[in-house]
Structure 1
Amino acid sequence: MDLYDSEERLQIFPGEDTRTRREVVQADMNDHELGDEFDDEHRMGALGYPPYGMTRQDPAREQRDWRLGSEAAEAEDLAYGGQGLAGQCQDLREAYRYTHGRASEEYECYVIPEEEDEEEPADNFCVTCKTPIRAVEKDSDKHRGHEVTALSKALESAKHMDVCVLQIITFYKRMPYVLQENFGRQEQNFESHYNEILEMLAQKYEEKIQALGKKKKEKLEALYGQLVSCGENLDTCKELMETIEEMCHEEKVDFLKDAVAMADRLGKFLKTKTDVELSTQPEFEDQTLDFSDVEQLMDSINTVPAPCAPVINPQAPNSATGSSVRVCWSLYSDDTVESYLLSYRPVQDGPAGKDRAEFTMTVKETYCSVRNLEPNTQYEFWVIAQNRTGPSPSSEHAVYMTAPSPPIIKRKAIRSCEDAALICWESGNLNPVDSYTVELTQAETPEASGVTESVVGIPTCESLIQLQPRHSYTIYVRALNMGGPSARSEPATVHTTGSYFHLNKDTCHPWLTISEDGLTVIRNKRKIFQREPPPNKTQFTRCVAVMGNLIPVRGRHYWEVEVEEQLDYTVGVAFEDVPKQEDLGANCLSWCMRHTYASARHQYEFLHNRTTPDIRITVPPKKIGILLDYENSKLSFFNVGISQHLYTFSCQFHQFVHPCFSLEKPGCLKIYNGISMPKHVTFF
């Protein structure tokens, strides 16, 4: 069935104006002429509005069956998939088809049911529901409140939107071709400009090459002319040299006579200016010949030659102090020298990359005392001789060293007895020294200018020196290196009247305090300790004790300890490695006397390896004398107040022992050492 055949067949809705229907049909045909790219029936199917009594096919399939080409089909797919602007066109076209019943021959026909032929045709369109409505349905409850417009007005709007959508799709379809055409045009333009630039560069290159060739030729010609002129001047100089040599072989008198004439002739020649300037070439301006060698040759006729390199001497013994050093060198006897340049710098022990400060001084003699130097430091010296002719080559480098700084004696570390003294000191130098020297002078003869005794070659910072008993000595220490000895240290005094020592703070129990003079041990009453200190190999931790540093000399040593009658204390001797976690006298490495006071009674024990003899002391001593006799292997205790012997241990000391002192309760012990042994002690 074709709705375009005749007017009678288009009278689906009676009463409608034939002219109006023709305009609609003609508008529809114009739609197809714009591009044949939209199908009204297909759009109505996509929006879900089927015509009365029509069986619809798949919208995608119907679109492919349409007479559109491949480009129109793709554009239709885009419009169909987006459902944007084309969606409303489809709705309006569906309404048109629904109203007029038009269909193409290429679509299957549909039959309007007979019962609907008598119904009133639709002349309105509901925009909200997207369906055509009749006049009777306009005010029904179903479409109440919806936006309703005339069907013809909605159709005209849909046609206008179809044209816009088609133009947009056509523009996007042609965009790749337009871009490709533009890119091709730009590529041709770039290639053309590139070829023009290459031709221009090649032309410029040829022009520059030709210009440089001309300049090169001109410069070579000018240089050749200068070389010819220089050769002529050299020939003239050669003739003068031959003349001078002939004159040197003649007698001196004749030489002196002719020298004046030759000097005048040579002076005139030297005043002659050689013009080799090139006006066209600024590079060759001021090209005059240099006759300085000839002038030096003429001056050397009546001058002496430059001196040879001096020979620097090695450092002499005792040629340095802590801040100065004496440097000497020698020179050949035939050389004439006006002055010397002496240079020096400190020897660097670190990396060679660091800069070292150099110092130079002018000297007239072949020796010099360099001052303001650092003590015990090596310096590198070299010398250059010079006269009016010029300087000599440099001498070889020699290393000199300043003397060390004076050592510092540790007075509190000095220990002595009747026969010897142990002296300790600090080096006072950053760098090591070769050795030390101890100088002794008897204090009874301060007016004596000389030294009573010297001990040399001491490698360490302490020395045990044998002395005369019952004397006082003033002791000095010097440090030595290859530069010489240092100045004397500050003096220290040593007495040989008896054994002298200090208490060792490294062994002191934390509960004890040692006085500044190092001879008093104090346990304070106010200090209460809840627990014992941790174990230590050098410090007493269980026994509240301290050791003294007795001089390591095998002989007789005597000292005294002042005690209180009601004080609990322990005094004696012990080896250095005695266990610090045990009480004194509780092992075989210590010998001691212990006193305890309880219930107004005094108890005395002489302990060694936890054993003690049964001895009773009726008079409590206030001062206890202790005699250590290595020769007889004895350790004796005395009551100094009444000169009473208390007890003697007979023991073998396979190594040196140290005095020990312990306080069981708060109190203090005062030690007297460096005293002579009483007469009652000498009998034991």
Structure 2
Amino acid sequence: METDTRVVDLQHQVSRNVEILRKKAQEVERFVNEVEDVFVQVEEFALAHRKRILAELAKLSELFEESLAKLSQTIDYEHKARLEALEAQQVKVHIDLQHISKMMDEARAASQTNDKVKFLEIAQMLNDRVVEIFQEYPNCFSEMCISEDLSEFLFSFKRYKKLFSCITSVKVPDAPFLRPQEVGGRTSSSFNVRWAVSPLDTVLGFQVAWRANDAGVTERSAHLGETYFFTIDGLGADTEYSVWVAAFTNAGLGPWSDPEVYLTGPLPPTVKVSESGWCNDGAKICWEPMPGYSSQPLSYSLEFDSLQKANMGATLKSVKGIGSCEFTIPLEPRDTYLIYVRSENKGGLSARSDPFFLQCPAGDVIIDETSAHLLQLSDDRRTITLSTAAWGQDNDQGGTHVWQFTRCPRVFGRALTSHANWQLDVRQAKDYFVGLVHLDMPDASSPSVPDSYWIVRRVSSHASASSSSSSSSSSACKFEFWDSGTHVDLYLSVPPKHVGLSFDRSTKQFSIVNAETQQLLISTCVRGAHLFQPVFGLQVPGKLCLGEDTAVSLPT
């Protein structure tokens, strides 16, 4: 029994132990599960932490790369800037060295002369420049071995600086004195200015200023050296200018002088060749002020010079104080002249006008070669010729129409400005005409225009044979006097060999005579207020010669 009881107790104890073990096994299993949960959580935390670390490392890497790139760019920029600064400094140092070398050469040249003040000026500038270079590049010179000569130069110059200041300390000069304007020192675009200074003043140069007295004109100036004369050019004609001058030294510019009024000369006039006229013993010269000239000159001056008598000494003649734009001057026959005109105002005379070349003829009449129609003129324009070939071109005068001199071979003389006499040698001319016409009469004018021409025409025998005339008159030499379209017949038993013509412009009396016998052929008073000119013509081949003898005797 006891044994069974023990067995039962043991069984119960074993059962309890087994239960205890089962419970402990369950607790161990729970612990293992909890441990496994912890390991899972730890693993998940480790993975998340690793991802965070990797992300932060990536960000740090990017920041580092960016910082490195910026640093590299900054280093490159600073490197480039330093290189450029070094190159600029090198160029500046090269220029400074050249400047110093130039000043050294100037100092050596000045030291060899007696101008010690100039030498001290250059030495001071050289010293100051060297000191500036020492201050600009202290690091460079601190590492260099400066020569004793340079150090001694910098030191020894200080002893002369006070003396230099005493020498160069000059007071500001007084105002110069402007001299009055010179009579001959001006043109239409310039004038000369002269001035003087006090003998106690030592100056280095002057400054001149000028301004036109017209409103709104800008003042101009010029910087000069030590001179007491200056020509101001580029000015307007016939204009008043105020001029000032001031002197300067190292101490500065002194006071300006009192203004002085200067005046430019007028512009030269223009000779009106087309309106001027001349004969063998005089000329009427006409001119006008320069176009665009605002003010009228006070007077004019006329100058004329004989070229043929230039080897005999001074031949220039002048007439001053002419109030109008025309003047008549006496000349000599067969002489050649150069004529000039000047304007005059308060500023004096202008420059000469363009020269007017004039050649006086031997007689009172000058033939205008440009007006010749079918006629030939000799070189001296004193022989008029109609050739057979030219006559054939104009051989149409034999009809019944009224004779017109404008259709015939003819040539005009220049306008007659005063009393005129001329002779013609007509021995080689059979059918010719001579006379006087208005200057402004056109070639195509009708022959019936009143008061336009006065002409004596010789009609040869073959031309007059067809006309109805008496036997007594047909045997004589026939002439026709034409008065602006109407005519009268004249018959002479002996034809003249030399015809003399005379015109008095004051009375307008026109006369034609036989120069050898002094027989009066015609005398009439021309009409009209215009200028008149001679006319010469040939109707058959022949010659007319303008004689050198101008004397024409009129019967009383």
Length-normalised TM-score, structure 2: 0.49
In our comparison, the structure showing a higher alpha carbon Rg is 1
Length-normalised TM-score, structure 1: 0.41
The structure showing larger relative contact order (alpha-carbon pairs under 8 Å, at least 6 residues apart) is 2
